[in-house]
Chain A
Amino acid sequence: DADVTQTPRNRITKTGKRIMLECSQTKGHDRMYWYRQDPGLGLRLIYYSFDVKDINKGEISDGYSVSRQAQAKFSLSLESAIPNQTALYFCATSDFGGKKSYNEQFFGPGTRLTVL
């Protein structure tokens, strides 16, 4: 069974549409992250959350919002999608600050989003 799941796995949408990407985890980790990956650019942090009441902007948060509904669920929303948000989106979790002394991150399978 997957520890970190993402839905949907693929999504094609049109410019201006609102879209939500969902992430769930069964690892019991408090820390959750949303990244986007573009070819040749590595991973860039969009938002991160250390617990349900602690949500923070990352490097590229403009145009995105998040919701931490529970320890296990962290959703990413694009309020009005634009073509340059076409990318591969990953959710990740970490037990850093809990049982782990370093920030080892566990990734979901990713969502490939295309905005036309």
Chain B
Amino acid sequence: GQSLEQPSEVTAVEGAIVQINCTYQTSGFYGLSWYQQHDGGAPTFLSYNALDGLEETGRFSSFLSRSDSYGYLLLQELQMKDSASYFCAVEDNYQLIWGAGTKLIIKP
């Protein structure tokens, strides 16, 4: 079967750094994406990794290790507005296969 595992909830302090992990087991793999979804909102694209290594976009970075079937999203200098759910998704040819999401709770 196909599965993506990510923690259901992560708590961090404003201004700190947090890492959200994602492990996957899928029949096909072209790349790993991350999406952010605020409560009541739609998912929005954050990042994409097709090759091993780190991709940086401002305060957010995403890492991929294809040999370990593992990736993570790193959020730095956390702000209250980063409180949201974060989804990893594997690109498998014609579709995205989604993880169940990680709810990020940020405390002042």
Q: Which of A14-22, A64-72, A73-81, A102-110 contacts B (4 or more CB under 8 A)?
A: A102-110
CB–CB B8/A108 < 8 A: no
How far does the alpha carbon of A58 sit from the alpha carbon of B92 in the complex, in Å?
A: 13
CB–CB B45/A105 < 8 A: yes
The 4 A-B pairs of least Cβ separation, nearest first, read A107-B42, A42-B98, A42-B100, A43-B98
How many inter-chain residue pairs (CB < 8 Å) link A and B?
A: 51
CB–CB B8/A40 < 8 A: yes
B101 contacts the other chain (CB 8 A): yes
Contacts of A41 in B (CB 8 A): 100
- List A residues at the B interface (Cβ < 8 Å): 33, 40-45, 48, 50, 56, 58, 90, 102-110
CB–CB B101/A42 < 8 A: yes
Looking at the assembled complex, report how far the CB atom of B106 sits from the nearest CB atom of chain A, in whole angstroms.
20
CB–CB B33/A104 < 8 A: yes
Out of A43, A48, A50, A110, which one reaches B87, CB within 8 Å?
A43
In B66-105, the 8 Å CB interface with A consists of 87, 89, 91, 94-96, 98-101
Count of chain B residues with a beta carbon within 8 Å of a chain A beta carbon: 21
Out of A45, A104, A109, A110, which one reaches B45, CB within 8 Å?
A104
Looking at the assembled complex, report how far the CB atom of B6 sits from the nearest CB atom of chain A, in whole angstroms.
9
CB–CB B87/A109 < 8 A: no
Q: Mark B1-19, 1 if CB is under 8 A from A, else 0.
A: 0000000100000000000
Q: With a 10 A CB-CB cut-off, give which of A44, A50, A56, A103 has the most chain B CB atoms.
A: A103
Contacts of A50 in B (CB 8 A): 94
CB–CB A45/B95 < 8 A: yes
Contacts of A109 in B (CB 8 A): 41-42
Given contacts A40-B101, A42-B87, A43-B98, 12 further A-B contacts (CB under 8 A): A40-B8, A41-B100, A44-B98, A45-B95, A45-B96, A50-B94, A103-B30, A103-B91, A104-B45, A105-B43, A106-B45, A110-B42
Q: Are A105 and B100 CB-contacts (below 8 A) given A90-B42, A110-B42? A: no
Q: Are A43 and B43 CB-contacts (below 8 A) given A48-B94, A102-B50? A: yes
